[in-house]
Amino acid sequence: MNNLDNHIESLLFLKGEPMTAKQLAKVLGASEKDVKDAVDFLGQKLSDRGIRMIKKDDSYSLATSPESSEFAKTLIEEEFNSELSKASLEVLSIIAYKGPISRSEVDYIRGVNSAFTVRNLMVRGLAERVVNPKDSRSFLYKPSLQLLQYLGIGDIKELPEFDNFNQKMETFISETKEETNVGQTDSDIGGNI
């Protein structure tokens, strides 16, 4: 596949979380060896850029360069010292009322990529990540104890109209899945929530 390194860069940027060579190979329809070679090439291309390739075991991710750390720190401090944005409040509400929830489900409900917003909520201590019991290679996000303390509640179910809102989201996800699945087999659906 031509430009495999470019496609890997796009996927890692979009995902916002580490991906394994196996995951990348599956999405790209390429061999794991070709993916690893392309990741190495991409790492070389990015070596003098503002974004760097990060490798840990068999997982790959993108990160800011050490040379940009001062500017990144300034931006992050401004972001975290300011009030929550509308997007942050939206994601936090979804996590609070529906969590534990996967990031792909949050993205699906919102209709946009929420990786940066979810990360910001975790850094602020308002959400936490736990291993998905159904798939140890993925994570779920849930409200943190700090969020409960901040809201002054002892249990997330004490949120206003918790049961009603939780059921509405569950119905939305179920109905949308059914609409998406009409006329498709399980193998066609693959990546849906």
Q: Convert the pLDDT of each residue in 152-170 to its tens digit.
A: 787 888 888 888 888 888 8
Q: Tell me phi and psi for residue 128, to 5 degrees.
A: -135, 155
- 24 pLDDT exceeds 90? yes
- 184 pLDDT exceeds 60? no
Contact (Cβ atoms closer than 8 angstroms) between residue 134 and residue 102: no
Kindly report the number of other CB atoms within 10 A of residue 175's CB atom. 10
Q: Please give the average per-residue pLDDT across 50-72, as a whole number.
A: 85
What pTM was computed for the model? 0.54
Q: Please give the average per-residue pLDDT across 55-62, as a whole number.
A: 85
Q: Convert the pLDDT of each residue in 128-150 to its tens digit.
A: 999 888 888 789 999 998 888 77
- What CATH class has 4-66? mainly alpha
Confidence of residue 191 (pLDDT cuts 50, 70, 90): very low
Q: What is the pLDDT of residue 78?
A: 67
Q: Please give the average per-residue pLDDT across 164-186, as a whole number.
A: 69
Kindly report the number of other CB atoms within 10 A of residue 138's CB atom. 13
Give Cα separations from 88 to 30, 59, 111 (angstroms).
36, 27, 14
Q: What share of the chain is helix, strand, coil (3-state, %, to 5)?
A: 60, 15, 25
Q: 81 or 92: whose pLDDT is higher?
A: 92
SS3 184: coil
Q: What is the CATH number of domain 83-184?
A: 1.10.10.10
| Beta strand 127-132 pairing with 59-64 | unpaired
Domain boundaries, the chain: 4-66, 83-184
Alpha carbon 18 to its chain's center: 10
